[in-house]
Amino acid sequence: MIYIFFLLFILGTCLGSFISCVAYRYKLGISIIYPRSFCDNCSQTLQHWQLIPIIGFILQKGKCHFCKQKIPLSSTIIELAIGVIFIFNAIIIANANLIFTLLLVVWPTLISLEDYYTLSVDSIT
Ligand SMILES: [Zn+2]
């Protein structure tokens, strides 16, 4: 059972990272697919190890590997929160109903981030 919780946590952190990325790219008006993830300050393309949710932030000690600019903590907190929510969802509901979590947690978080970044919400999200 602990493996399922661990996998749910990993899935939640990845989803949290994704929705943070989507909201931020919505703010910039760029595609969510291209270009690859980059530093907000120096625009360097990030390495794969830098993109691992939570671990990438820890390995870089909260600063960009290239320009040493401080990385905003908000996306890491969202990654952690969504990961924990996925675990609690599995415990409280007693099953891994990911559709329920997607609808009640992830989507409102995405809309909230879009609103936070742009003071608007896209009609298709
Ligand atoms: Zn940088």
CB 40 within 8 A of CB 30: no
d(CA 118, ligand 1 centre) in Å = 22
pLDDT of amino acid 98: 66
d(CA 46, ligand 1 centre) in Å = 9
Q: What does the pLDDT profile of the chain (125 residues) look like in tens digits? A: 788 889 989 999 999 999 999 888 988 889 988 899 999 899 999 999 999 999 999 999 999 999 999 998 988 999 999 999 888 877 776 655 667 767 777 888 888 888 888 888 777 65
pLDDT of amino acid 37: 92
Q: What does R_g of the chain's alpha carbons equal in angstroms?
A: 15
pLDDT of amino acid 120: 80
d(CA 43, ligand 1 centre) in Å = 6
pLDDT of amino acid 76: 94
d(CA 60, ligand 1 centre) in Å = 11
d(CA 62, ligand 1 centre) in Å = 11
Q: What's the per-residue H, E or C state across the chain?
A: CHHHHHHHHHHHHHHHHHHHHHHHHHHHCCCCCCCCCECCCCCCECCHHHHCCCHHHHHCCCECCCCCCECCCHHHHHHHHHHHHHHHHHHHHCCCCHHHHHHHHHHHHHHHHHHHHHCCCCCCC
